[in-house]
Amino acid sequence: MQLPNAWPPGDLRSLYLHWTAGDYATVFPAYHVCIALDPRGEPVAHVTHDLRANMRDVREPGPPYAAHTAGRNSHAIGLAICGMRDATPHDFGAFPLLEPMLALGCAAAARLCAFYGIAIEPAHVLTHAEAALADGYFGSGEDQRWDIARLSPRPAPLVPDDAARAGDELRARIRAA
Ligand SMILES: [Zn+2]
Q: What is the pTM of this model?
A: 0.97
Query: If you average pLDDT over residues 40-53, what whole number do you get?
Result: 96
CA of 64 to the centre of ligand 1 (A): 18
pLDDT digits (tens, 9 = 90+) for 29-39: 999 999 999 99
Query: If you average pLDDT over residues 52-79, what whole number do you get?
Result: 97
Q: How confident is the model at residue 2 (pLDDT cuts 50, 70, 90)?
A: low
pLDDT digits (tens, 9 = 90+) for 117-137: 999 999 999 999 999 999 999
Chain-wide mean pLDDT for the chain? 96
CA of 132 to the centre of ligand 1 (A): 9
CA of 79 to the centre of ligand 1 (A): 9
Each as own residue / partner, the long-range contacts of residues 126-129 (CB below 8 Å, 24 or more positions apart, any chain) are 126/14, 126/15, 126/16, 126/17, 126/167, 127/16, 127/17, 127/18, 127/163, 127/166, 127/167, 127/170, 128/16, 128/17, 128/18, 128/68, 128/69, 129/162, 129/163, 129/166, 129/167
CA of 71 to the centre of ligand 1 (A): 12
CA of 148 to the centre of ligand 1 (A): 8
- Walk across the sheet containing 14-19 and list its strands: 43-47, 33-37, 76-81, 14-19, 125-127
CA of 99 to the centre of ligand 1 (A): 19
Q: Are 115 and 7 within 8 A, CB to CB? A: yes
